[in-house]
Each structure stands twice: as C-alpha cells, then as structure tokens.
Chain A
Amino acid sequence: MCADSSEIKGLKRKDLLGILELEKEEIEFILDTAISFKEILERPIKVVPYLRGKTVAFLFFEPSTRTLNSFSLAARRLSCDSVSVSASSSSVLKGETLLDTAKNLEAMKLNFVVVRHSSPGASHILAKNLTSSVINAGDGSHEHPTQALLDLLTIKEHFGKFEGLKVLIVGDIEHSRVARSDIWGMKKLGMDVSVCGPPTLIPRDIEKMGVRVYYNLKEAIENKDIIYVLRIQKERQKRGLFPSTREYINLYSITEEVLEKHAKRDVVIMHPGPVNRGIEIAPSVADGTRSLILPQVTNGVAIRMACFYLLPGGEGREEGRVKREEG
C-alpha cells in the first residue's frame, strides 16, 4: 500500500466542541470517515484494534441513555477502554468542581474526555485545561455536535446530497442544543432550513442564523423534504412556556393526518430521541415508513467512532510527519 500524502488528513483541532467552529470540509470529512466505519458494525467481529491501550472518560452530568451508550459502544468497537463518572455517584456531590474532576481523571492518563453538562461552554473550559481530546456530548442548550453529525450522515445516506434540501425543525427551538448544532451544520452544507413552534419557544434572533420562522405547522410542512421533530423537554419547561401539553399536541404534533394533508409524499421524519410518543410525534409516524429515527441511532455509533479516530486523543501535537509508507 502506498499512503499518498493526499490520503492523509486530520481535523485541524484537538477537540470537538461544536458545529459552529467546524469548516464545511471538516464536516464532510467526518461524514465520509463515518461511512467507512459503518462497515465495521456489520462484521462478525465488530471491533478493530485502533485504540488499544487508550482510555476515554465519560463525564455525564445530565441524564442520557442513547448518547452515553452510543459513545461507549463506539469506544469499545475501537478497542478503547473507558471510565464513567456521573454526577449522582461521584465526588461532584462532595463539591468537587467539573475541572477538578476532569484534571484528576486526566492525572490517571486519559486520551479522550466526553462531557455532557447543563452549562453552555462546559466542554470549552475542559478543552482549554486538558491535554486530552474533549468531545462535547451536549452543553446546556448550546451545542450537541455529534448529534448534528449523525443527523447529517442520515440525510446524506437517504438523499445523497445536501444542497437545496428543505428541512423543517419543529418544536422547542429555544432550549434545543440539537436544533442549534443542526441549523449550523445544515446551513454550512447548503440546506434550506426553517423552524416552527410556539412563539415562546422560538429564540428571538433566530432569523440571524439564516432560517425561516413559521408558527403555523400546516403551512410550514408544505414542500419540505425533511421534518425534524424535537423532543418537548419537560425538564426545561419549568417556566410554563406553553399553556398545556394538549394545546401543543393540537397545534404542533406530527401525525399521519397532518402529513397526509400537507406534506410531500416522500417526506422523511427525523427525531433525536428520546421520543415522547403522542406528544410531539404520533407513534404511527415514529414507527412508520417515513421515519429515519432508527437509522439515526445506528449512524450515531459510526459518527462517534469517526470522531475518536480523527481527534488526536491526547498524544500531543508533535509535528511528527507521516512517513510515506510502503510495504
């Protein structure tokens, strides 16, 4: 094999903190890499030796099933060891700060830190202070970059392109890190992005992100290729930003009936999970033929494998050039 210099690329960064900071080419490179990694998930033995002897720490200070398991599986598929810290069972309860927890873990020789935290920017603080590669697995309502990447991969696989695709994101945009990361990613790749939801859940300056705003769902879904349904986040709704769940369902729930009447025939439905069945989406739609929800989950593992592969993983950034290997 000749490893041409043109075949050797890297992300130009130590950490993956958000989609906003990524260049379009970097996003495309991550997606292409993830497509290669998907094949590993189909093998009889679903593990490659690439990260043998490396370690990742999962710092999850907010609940998660899908994201944590997806990251954890991605690490294992690459032979990476892992340790896990959750807020409820660690010294966080004794008052240790996020940074202290992370620095102590790093003192145990880590390569990657995957962090989920309720404060926007938590992963940035870690990234600045640690030599390991930090991956943001969700920081408050700010960003959730690997979710956006897996969404983009799912779109790429289904449509074979991004340019000109029309997507509608429905629901609680205000509190959604998924929406923010997705909008940035989709815009960078040339998609036409609209949002729809109750006025109280649409951020005031959202048009500045280059999206169109609708308040009427029926009008909004016309001509869209993708309807991306967000979860109604009960845990972030303490202020009562919509009158009642029933009213939300009446106005914004994605049902067969609404789709039949107003959507394109070949529209696809996406959702980041976990699904509140019968609230933001009808069970028959979530499980229906238009749904890409499960492919999204599969792609999540491949995307996270690609991220572990492409980030330097605490090896430092020595300018060790790649030798042109033959052999």
Chain B
Amino acid sequence: MDREYKNARVLMAGEKLREILEKLTKEIYEKNKDEDRLLIVGIKRRGEILAKRIAKSLGTKINVAFGSIDITLYRDDLTSIDKKPIVRKTEIPFNIDDQNLLLVDDVLFTGRTVRSALTELVDFGRPKRVQLAVFIDREERELPICPDFVGKSLKVGKKEMVEVRLHEIDEEECVLIVPR
C-alpha cells in the first residue's frame, strides 16, 4: 500500500479495476468498429498506460495506432508555480489529419488537462473527430468538457483527490481517495 497517504481510502483494486477497463474498452469498440482506423492517444502518465492497455486489447479486432501526449507546456497554471513539473516526451508517431482519434486519461475533474491536450493536438493537425475516454469521472468541471466514455463516475468532495495507481509505474493497481 502507498505509504505517502495515511488517510487514503481504497475505492477499488485489482480485479475490479480490470473489469471496469474491459467494459470501457468494449464501449469504445462498439462506437468505433466501423471506422478504418482509431488513433489512441494517452495523456501522460497514467492516461498513457490506460491507453496502451486499451490499444492492446482493441488491436486484435480493429486497426489502431498508439501515441502519448505530455501537456505540461500547455498548462494554464504554470506561471503560478515555482518548481517545474517534469516535461516528458510527447510521442505522436502518425499524421492525425482527418483521422478518428481517442484521447485517454485516468481522471477527469476540472477539464483543464483535456483542454490543454486538445490545444496541443491541434499543433499536430486537424483530426476528423476526437473522442474522450476517462477511467474515473469525478465531476466538478470548470470547463465545458464532456467525456464520451466513462469507466466509473464518482462524487467526491472538492477537498479530496482521486488517484488511479497502475502497476506499470506504481507497483500496485487501485483507485484511491486521498484527503488534500
């Protein structure tokens, strides 16, 4: 268990998390099975991991390509912070012009991350359509952003954080609710 957070509540773990991801993937498949190709772009870092898993399981059925995006340089709160978030590499190894694209993130909250990702994507081209899949939708939007696919909707207090932890980088697989 994560020792950083003493008062963390575990919302779900292991098998349950995989089940929800499977259901999410199936919904994405149903909506996209007649498309020529689906470009799946995950928002770093945990959105990228989820996107990779989704791409892997969809890849056996439909034509998919996988990329990832780091939105740090497009954030709207950077001037107000002193230390700098680590900038990771954006990897979009395909032309997105006129393509069917799926953006993936772990938690949708204010909508500001997705706004940044959309702004960044535009610098790579003009997709035909962008869909949004999130594992957790915790409501309390601050921008007009709406997901197309949701793993699980949650109502948690503004003072709480939702953390999705994935074994690829966290050595555990669970969703935590952490007091701020």
**A residues apposed to B, CB below 8 Å:** 1-3, 7-10, 32-33, 35-37, 39-40, 43-45, 47-50, 78, 306, 309-310, 312, 315, 317-327
Contacts and interface: CB of A to CB of B under 8 A. Distances in A.
A55 to B, nearest CB: 14
Interface stretch (B7-15, B21-29, B67-75): B67-75
A1 B161 contact: no
A78 B84 CA distance: 15
B110 to A, nearest CB: 4
Contact of B84 (A310, A318, A326): A310
Nearest to A78: B73
Interface in B147-178: 161-164
Nearest to B163: A2
A116 B44 CA distance: 38
B86 A9 contact: yes
Nearest to B48: A1
A144 B81 CA distance: 29
A321 B83 CA distance: 8
A3 B85 contact: yes
Contacts of B89: 35-36, 39
Given A44-B125, A326-B113, 20 more contacts: A1-B45, A1-B46, A1-B105, A1-B113, A2-B46, A2-B163, A3-B85, A7-B85, A8-B84, A9-B86, A10-B84, A45-B124, A49-B74, A309-B73, A321-B82, A325-B77, A325-B112, A327-B108, A327-B110, A327-B111
A326 B124 CA distance: 25
A324 B180 contact: yes
Nearest to B80: A320
A8 B163 contact: no
Contact of B73 (A2, A50, A324): A50
